[in-house]
Amino acid sequence: MSTDDKNRAIAAAILPLVGGAGNISSVAHCMTRLRLGLRDRSLVQDEALKALPSVMGVVEDDTYQIVLGPGTVARVTPAFEALVAEGAAQAPTHSAEELADKGAALKAARKAKNATPFKLFLRKIANIFVPLIPALIGCGIIAGLNGLLINLGWLPGVTPALAAIASGFMALIAVFVGFNTAKEFGGTPILGGAVAAIIVFAGVAKIEVFGQTLSPGQGGVLGALGAAVLAVYVEKWCRRWVPESLDVLVTPTLTVLVSGLVTIYGLMFVAGEVSQGIGDFANWLLENAGAGAGFLLGGLFLPLVMLGLHQALIPIHTTLIEQQGYTALLPILAMAGAGQVGAAMAAYLRLPRNGSIRRTIKSALPAGFLGVGEPLIYGVSLPLGRPFVTACVGGAFGGGFVGLFSMLGDKVGSTAIGPSGWALFPLLDGNKGLGTTIAIYAGGLIVGYLVGFVATYFWGFSRELIEEFDVDTEAAAPAPVAAGPPAAAPGHEPEPVKV
């Protein structure tokens, strides 16, 4: 079977289990998950979906998220979209409308019950930065390769070109943030990008604000985000008050002019100070309290993920990468995944008779080593309860290990966000040699694995938990006794044997 056929087969297996094409209102994907907007949640067959070999797990948030893993999801999504389009074209119009009305009502009720303004705001922020992750990863790996070539003295004629390729995106990242911000907040994306482009324009170096000369890029992604949000509000105000006959000329002009002036004479300076403060605080924290900060960050990251609060860290990571070339927080947070891996290996040994859980662990561990933690979290540690806590303990000690070396002057950072686990090795950077950086990160992973394993093996399972879960889930039903049950009367079915 060709790769295209395989991806289409995966998509075809998923589609009927989420209610068919008529039940899909939107399709998107992130690094590991197929994110679906559903009209009627009750049509989804959760257990059948989880049983598919290609599905690592499911997560329900503002969208229904199917975990397929990195690489796979990017290939399956286009095939899924094609099947949805084909199904929608064949579906009767009236049934789709009825389904949409019913689904909209259910979705509105669910959102009103579960969504909070703060979480909705964080989702918007995540939606701005998540589409940028592939470019951050690609450019980060090229930057790492270029640094290695420079250190080895190889290909001196090529390294300047690689530097340009690796740095071009970061030089203009503010423009992409502005574009996505305007799109997410309901404005015209290109106007958001146009206002954000002011921040990286070289000509701002000729402008003086509050007695200081501006620098190109001052304020970075935070300034771009604020400028684009302001542009959205100015644009919406213009749409309400500018006559329709003049709208095409006046609205974009006023949007760019007003937002641009506020950005130059206010936002760039303020956002620059905030960005500098974030960088200074991160440096101070890791240099003076690195072990304790690493312990807390590594231990609390998974609960933050469960609450959706980890999305608030994305702009911080991006700001640090923009300022320093890497974020020293991500390798510490990646230790949470190491704790999960260690806890899962302990659960595998502590539940020798539960073939179902052991199979889940065996299939999910490779992804866990590569930093994809959802299958282990939702398939193993979280349902078991206490192993989720002991996994967090493993992450805490791994984070503390990496943070300790930051206190000693050996910072470990990542040039991009997104990957974790072993997949983070190509993106590592720091203030010392690459060998030292890799050794510290690898040591943190090993500490996370070992502590997560030991904590889970000895304290992750109570006697009651062992009795409940360490059972043979595939045991055959007991054979009938020799005499057998009495024959059923004619016209009646025999009573089932109760076991």
* Catalytically active residues, by annotation: 30
- Rounded Cα gap, residues 231 and 247, in angstroms: 15
Token pair for 151: 């250190």
- Rounded Cα gap, residues 380 and 358, in angstroms: 9
- Rounded Cα gap, residues 170 and 179, in angstroms: 15
- How many beta carbons lie within 10 A of that of residue 157, not counting itself? 6
- Rounded Cα gap, residues 12 and 357, in angstroms: 27
- Rounded Cα gap, residues 163 and 304, in angstroms: 35
- The helix or strand, by DSSP H or E, that contains position 82, with its residue range, turns out to be helix 72-90
Contact between 343 and 453 (Cβ < 8 Å):
yes
Where do the H-state alpha helices sit in 242-267? Answer: 244-262
Which of 146, 171, 172, 140 is CA-nearest to residue 161?
146
Break the chain down into helix, strand, coil percent, rounded to 5: 70, 5, 20
Beta strands in 2-116 (DSSP E): 24-29, 33-38, 57-60, 64-67
Residues whose CB is less than 8 angstroms from the CB of residue 172 and which lie 6 or more positions away in sequence, other chains included = 197, 200
> Following CA atoms 453, 459, 460, 465 in sequence, which dihedral angle do they give, to the nearest 10 degrees?
140
Largest CA distance in the chain: 101
Token pair for 38: 């559903």
Burial of residue 467 (CB within 10 Å: 0-12, 13-18, 19+) is exposed
Contact between 45 and 33 (Cβ < 8 Å):
no
List beta partners, residue 412.
430
- Rounded Cα gap, residues 394 and 397, in angstroms: 5
- How many beta carbons lie within 10 A of that of residue 44, not counting itself? 18
Residue listed under structure tokens 């900060």: 293
- Rounded Cα gap, residues 334 and 322, in angstroms: 20
Which of 288, 283, 292 is CA-nearest to residue 326?
283
Alpha carbons within 13 angstroms on the beta-carbon side of residue 495 total: 6
